[in-house]
Amino acid sequence: MSTNPQPDQPLDQYRRGFLKKLGLVGGAAAATTLPAVGHPAWGGSTLGDAVGDFFQSHYKRMDPEEIEAALGRIERRAKKRLGVEIQVANTPPIPGVVFGYAINISKCQGYRRCVTACVEENNQGRDSQVQYIRVLQMDKGGMNLETSEHYYAPETVPVDGKFYLPVQCQQCDDPPCVKACPVQATWMEPDGIVVIDYNWCIGCRYCMAACPYWARHFNWSEPQIPAEALNPVTHYLGNRPRPRGVVEKCTFCIQRTRLGRQPACQEACPTGARVFGNLLDPDSEIRYVLENKTVFRLKEDLGTEPKFWYYTDV
Amino acid sequence: MPGSNTRSGVTRWPWALILLLIGALPASFAQAPEAAPPAGPGFSVLTRQDNLVYYPCMHCHQALKTNASPRPLYAPHLREQPHGGGTFWCLTCHAAEDRNQLSLLTGDQVGFDDAYKVCAQCHAPRARDWRHGGHGKRVGNWQGERTILGCPQCHNPHDPVLVPSPPDPAPPVRIGFPPPSERTVKHHTVWDTLQHDQNGKDAP
Amino acid sequence: MFKRMLERKPGGVVDFMLSAVGRLSRGGWLYWLWLVLLLGVMGNGGFHYLDQLRHGLMITGLSDQISWGFYIANFAFLVGIAASAVLLVIPAYIFHRQEVKDVVLLGEAVAVAAVITAMTFVMVDLGRPERFWHMIPGIGEFNFPVSLLSWDVLVLTGYLLLNLLIPFYILYCHFQGREPSFRVYFPWVLLAMFWAISIHTVTAFLFSANPARPFWHTALLGPRFIASAFVSGPALMIAALQIIRAVTRYPVSQKVMHMLALIMTIALQISLFFVIAELFTDFYNEGSHSASSRYLFFGLDGHAALRPWVWCALGLNLLAVLILMINPLRENMFFLNLACLLAFVGIWIEKGMALVVPGFIPTPLGEVADYVPTSAELMISGGIWAMGLLVFTLLAKMAIPIELAQRDRPAEAVAGAAATT
């Protein structure tokens, strides 16, 4: 986060500085593999793995053995590039579960703890602008996104006269991004999570144009993560290391939630503003919120049917 | 997250009892008769009693005589007690006879881990949300055994309003780009704009 | 039968293709200079593209806020150029106007070059171009008919094939010294006409399909695209025909120029009317849908990178329409050329950067940022444009001698050859 480019710093210089920093903080593990952090031949994998990656089929068409091989390639690549042992899971959806999320905007204070936790959990490139959650500082007395402040940085929050609106992927039930994709690299899983096969995406970014919530982000360069900051518990459709040139997005922390855990943003929220759960379970917290509080959804008029709600205390 | 450090054994009946009691309280309350909410999901509250620095309180208080008259207190107690705007005194919530316990309006005593029962006496709608997950926070998992934070885990019972704190860093910009400029047009709330317009009209 | 066709015998398909390709190596110093120039610009673009492959799209000015820019802007514009080749097809093949028929093959060459150029612009915009095969039905997962992008790929590929097929047949017949059979080519010509409209409509729908982007989400976008295409296409054709007339002895009738100029005039008037309609809707009651227009024309929150460009485009188009609407000026080649240049640049800005980029500003979450293409982006784009010119040059180089030979044959010889085949 401290590596924001300076206005007068040329790109190459910035890049070198960042790599140097990576080498310093990466310690011994990274130092041996440092050449691979930049622009390694075959993207840091062996020729065999590169060929395997190239010919890898669509996620939904692969048989268990092919998936196993694909997971192995990702694990080997992380080991080679960063010297970190990661586990890439392929946990299936839980039957009878459709995930939903609600945020209490009376409670959200704009601390951005969710954003930080999300970056750490989901292995987002530390040098890129990829952050799945944007917390908007809004003017009280209105709901105009166009007057929101994205880069607020006061001494303390909340600021008088403002309220805070965190926005991330709304996991639409009729997702325009899925319709847009020319190669079906993105789809909605049975548990309602819209996922991307990062090995199938061609990087055309039409989904980014189609998303009304600005929830999709592109890897303009190879994502750089210091070795010791890499979260080794990953999922193929979730937080496993992503390649350059593909679009990525929030997956409701698929690597956690499919194991029954809370998403990282819910866990990090110091105000308890975030409520996550199974929409099909009438006893779940999320259902209580939907049935008993006055809720709204962002840009509901676009017909995207988000599975993401906002509510207030009263 | 101390998700494993939970205390089970909070059963449903005391909660239902409290709601019944609240429902049966003064007649002024009765004109908003909230029907008893559905039983809702079970839960246990994350314990905090063991983490309290001065607990057990009776270490000191068994040697001290109870002075029931409101007065400024000294360390280790808070001098001010903002909660309730001056209407509360220590013994409103703390049991006079056994300081290891809190007391309810009924005279019943509950432990520090069950502090929510004390809070719920006044904050009934909030307590209902909390009980069902619309307020407060569930820790660890979204399914299976439900452990939630008790009221004092977020709110200082003596001064429950959350204090402002610094936000995490602003979002980065794409590599190679200058930092985002401040919005040159400062947006104001509706009433600020209206006020400004009024002043503009009033000006000679 | 195919085997027979593949044998190299005089007048066979192989002979036809070999002799056509063989002509590419014969030309004056101007021709070679032109080729070297184009190859130089292409090489420069290719060099920068290698850089893009190595570092990723971070070498462009694009960001998560403005995720499409100069590449897609040129793509949208070039699809319009490709579509407007239909203009010449209608009078040539339906009304059998000989002077138009003479140049219709050149129109189709422009279409082929424009489609290839447009497709290349999409290719360089991809983050993972090596995964292009994911789009091929069968081995990939082609999201048809749901994704508008898949429609665009389909119609552009089809259009490319059609515009290769029809001239191929006609040229092949002329190569053999006979007139092409009306019954053989006419159904394809008919299809190509509808197809031309469809490629540009689908490209417009690609944008207008997104309620997330109010600036694009208007039913007028399709008609606007078509109208402006019928300005930029003829403008380019008028220039290309004059160059052909100057460097070859190919007959280009002044009547064709007048016809194209007239089409341009009407299309530009309609196009400007559409712009006015958009402006009225955006600014009479300004709502959230007009934020992008406000950014474009006046700037928003201190960001106004496109403001000079769009006013420039409006000015150029207005000037062009003034010249075109005054008959003596339009018939004067100097003023006509000036109007073509003004309108071509005006539409290039209006339908390129001024259409694609404001769609992203403000972002769906209300963030305002500017987009300025980097020099690498401009170099790569320049290389692609040079490639388009090269494709057109080579196609014209192959086609023109065949056509000239056909014209030089006495009429009875043509009739005789037609009777024997």
Residue reference for tokens 């959990």: A121
Helix (H, G, I), strand (E, B) or coil at C300: strand
Residues of B in contact with A1 (CB under 8 A): 169, 172
In DSSP terms, A139 is beta-bridged to: A162
Q: What is the distance in angstroms between the Cα of A183 and the nearest Cα belonging to chain C?
A: 5
Q: Which of A157, A262, A270 sits opposite B142 (nearest CB)?
A: A262
Which pLDDT score is estimated for C7? 66
Which pLDDT score is estimated for A76? 93
Mean pLDDT over the full length of chain C:
91
Record: contact B171-A129, CB cut-off 8 A = yes
Residues of A in contact with C131 (CB under 8 A): 183, 200-203
- Domains in chain A: ranges and CATH: 99-219+248-311 (3.30.70.20)
Which pLDDT score is estimated for A33? 36
pLDDT band for B94, please (50, 70, 90 cuts). very high
CA distance A87 to B67: 62
Above 80 in pLDDT, residue B21? Answer: no
Least confident window among A96-110, B4-18, C130-144, C395-409: B4-18
Low-confidence ranges of chain A (pLDDT < 50): 1-41
Q: What is the distance in angstroms between the Cα of C44 and the nearest Cα belonging to chain B?
A: 23
Residues of C in contact with A176 (CB under 8 A): 210-212
CA distance C320 to C339: 4
Per-residue b or e along C315-341, where b marks 16 or more CB atoms closer than 10 Å to that residue's CB: ebbeebbebbeeeeebeeeeebeebbe
Mean pLDDT of C142-159: 95
**Cβ–Cβ contact B174 with C under 8 A:** yes
pLDDT tens-place string over residues C218-257: 999 999 999 999 999 999 999 999 999 999 888 899 999 9
Using a 10 angstrom Cβ sphere, with 0-12 exposed, 13-18 middle and 19 or more buried, the burial of residue A105 is: middle
Record: contact B176-C58, CB cut-off 8 A = yes
**Cβ–Cβ contact B184 with C under 8 A:** yes
**Cβ–Cβ contact B40 with A under 8 A:** yes
Q: Would residue C5 count as lying in a domain?
A: no
Record: contact C54-A39, CB cut-off 8 A = yes
Q: Which of B186, C67, C290 is nearest to A148 (CA)?
A: B186
Q: What is the distance in angstroms between the Cα of A238 and the nearest Cα belonging to chain B?
A: 18
Scanning A203-222 for CB atoms below 8 A from B yields 220-221
Sequence-separated (6 or more) residues with CB below 8 Å from residue A148: A136, A137, A138, A139, A165, C365, C366, C367
Query: Residue B110: which H helix or E strand, with range?
Result: strand B109-110
Q: In which region does residue A92 sit, left (phi positive, over 0), alpha (psi from -120 to 50) or beta (all else)? A: beta
Q: Which of C40, C195, C182 is nearest to C111 (CA)?
A: C195
Contact indicator for B112, B121 with CB cutoff of 8 Å: no
Query: Residue B44: which H helix or E strand, with range?
Result: strand B44-45
Which pLDDT score is estimated for B182? 62
Q: Would residue C13 count as lying in a domain?
A: no
In DSSP terms, B44 is beta-bridged to: B147
Chain C nearest-CA residue for B186: C301
User: Which chain C residues touch B if contact means CB-CB below 8 Å?
Assistant: 58, 63-64, 301-302, 368-369
**Cβ–Cβ contact A264 with B under 8 A:** no
Helix residue ranges per DSSP H, C248-306:
254-284, 291-297
pLDDT tens-place string over residues A167-191: 999 999 999 999 999 999 999 999 9
Which pLDDT score is estimated for C4? 60
Which pLDDT score is estimated for A313? 87
- How does DSSP assign chain A, residue by residue? -TTPPPTTS-HHHHHHHHHHHHHHHHHHHHHHTHHHHSS-GGGGS-HHHHHHHHH---GGG--HHHHHHHHHHHHHHHHHHH----EEE-PPPPTT--EEEEEETTT-----HHHHHHHHHTT--TTS---S-EEEEEETT---GGG-BSS---SSBSPTTEEEEEE-----SS-HHHHH-TT--EEE-TTS-EEE-TTT-----HHHHH-TT---EE-SS-----GGG---EEETTTTSPPPTT-EE---S-HHHHTTTBPPHHHHH-TT--EEEEETT-TTSHHHHHHHHS-EE-TTGGG----SEEEE---
Record: contact B184-C301, CB cut-off 8 A = yes
Residues of C in contact with B185 (CB under 8 A): 301-302
Residues in chain B, how many?
Answer: 204
**Cβ–Cβ contact B69 with A under 8 A:** no
Which pLDDT score is estimated for B1? 39
Residues of C in contact with A148 (CB under 8 A): 365-367
Chain A nearest-CA residue for C359: A209
Which pLDDT score is estimated for C98? 84
Helix residue ranges per DSSP H, B45-167:
58-61, 90-93, 115-120, 124-132
How many CB atoms neighbour CB C21 within 10 A? 12
Record: contact C64-B174, CB cut-off 8 A = yes
Contact indicator for C34, C393 with CB cutoff of 8 Å: yes
CA distance B141 to A263: 9
B46, B123, B137, B149: best mutation site toward chain A, by most A Cβ within 10 Å? B137
CA distance C260 to C242: 12
pLDDT tens-place string over residues C56-87: 999 999 999 999 999 999 999 999 999 997 77
Q: Which amino acid is at B38?
A: P
Which pLDDT score is estimated for C90? 80
Residues of C in contact with A4 (CB under 8 A): none
Record: contact C368-B183, CB cut-off 8 A = yes
Output the domain CATH number for residue C235. Answer: 1.20.1630.10
Residue reference for tokens 């008088």: A160
**Cβ–Cβ contact B204 with A under 8 A:** no
Which pLDDT score is estimated for B81? 83
Scanning A113-152 for CB atoms below 8 A from C yields 129-130, 134, 136, 144-148, 150
CB pairs under 8 A between A and B: 158
Using a 10 angstrom Cβ sphere, with 0-12 exposed, 13-18 middle and 19 or more buried, the burial of residue C362 is: buried
Q: Which of B175, B177, B185 sits opposite C301 (nearest CB)?
A: B185
Q: Which of C299, C390, C415 is nearest to C39 (CA)?
A: C390
Q: Would residue C260 count as lying in a domain?
A: yes
CA distance B106 to B109: 9
Q: What is the distance in angstroms between the Cα of A165 and the nearest Cα belonging to chain B?
A: 14
How many CB atoms neighbour CB A39 within 10 A? 14
Contact indicator for A259, A142 with CB cutoff of 8 Å: no
| Phi, psi (degrees; rounded to nearest 5) at B180 | -65, 140
Contact indicator for C178, C414 with CB cutoff of 8 Å: yes
Which pLDDT score is estimated for C134? 96
Scanning B133-162 for CB atoms below 8 A from A yields 133-144, 149, 154, 162
Record: contact B185-C63, CB cut-off 8 A = no
Contact indicator for C179, C411 with CB cutoff of 8 Å: no
Chain B nearest-CA residue for C55: B175
CA distance between the termini of chain A = 36
Number of domains observed in the structure of chain C: 1
State how far the alpha carbon of C6 is from the alpha carbons of C14, C15, C23, C172, C390, in Å.
6, 9, 20, 14, 28
Q: Which of C131, C150, C212 sits opposite A211 (nearest CB)?
A: C212
Helix (H, G, I), strand (E, B) or coil at C412: helix
Residue reference for tokens 């992503």: A242
Subunits adjacent to chain B (3 or more Cβ pairs under 8 Å): A, C
Q: Which of A1, A285, A311 sits opposite B172 (nearest CB)?
A: A1
Which pLDDT score is estimated for C97? 84
Q: What is the distance in angstroms between the Cα of A78 and the nearest Cα belonging to chain B?
A: 22
Helix (H, G, I), strand (E, B) or coil at B95: coil
Above 70 in pLDDT, residue B23? Answer: no
pLDDT more than 90, % of chain C: 74
CA distance A73 to A60: 18
Record: contact B180-C58, CB cut-off 8 A = no
Which pLDDT score is estimated for C68? 97
Record: contact B168-A112, CB cut-off 8 A = yes
Tokens representing C382 are: 């320049």
Residues of C in contact with A244 (CB under 8 A): 56, 127
Higher-confidence residue of A28 and C289: namely C289
Q: Which of B175, B184, B185 sits opposite C58 (nearest CB)?
A: B175
Record: contact B183-C369, CB cut-off 8 A = no
Scanning A272-301 for CB atoms below 8 A from C yields 299
Which pLDDT score is estimated for A6? 41
Sequence-separated (6 or more) residues with CB below 8 Å from residue A88: A71, A74, A75, A234, A235, A236, A240
Which pLDDT score is estimated for C260? 93
Record: contact A145-C213, CB cut-off 8 A = no
Q: Which amino acid is at B28?
A: S
Q: What is the distance in angstroms between the Cα of A153 and the nearest Cα belonging to chain B?
A: 6
Per-residue b or e along C366-402, where b marks 16 or more CB atoms closer than 10 Å to that residue's CB: bbbbbbebbebbebbbebbbbbbbbbbbbbbbbbbbb
Tokens representing A132 are: 């799945």
Q: Which of C154, C133, C59, C114 is nearest to C384 (CA)?
A: C114
Q: Which of C63, C301, C368 sits opposite B177 (nearest CB)?
A: C63
Q: In which domain, by residue range, is C392 found?
A: 28-420
C62, C290, C365, C375: best mutation site toward chain A, by most A Cβ within 10 Å? C365
Record: contact C126-A220, CB cut-off 8 A = no
pLDDT tens-place string over residues C304-314: 999 999 999 99
Least confident window among A24-28, A117-121, C281-285, C346-350: A24-28
Sequence-separated (6 or more) residues with CB below 8 Å from residue B56: B100
Chain A nearest-CA residue for B132: A285
Mean pLDDT of B60-86: 84
Sequence-separated (6 or more) residues with CB below 8 Å from residue C224: C204, C271, C274, C275, C278, C351
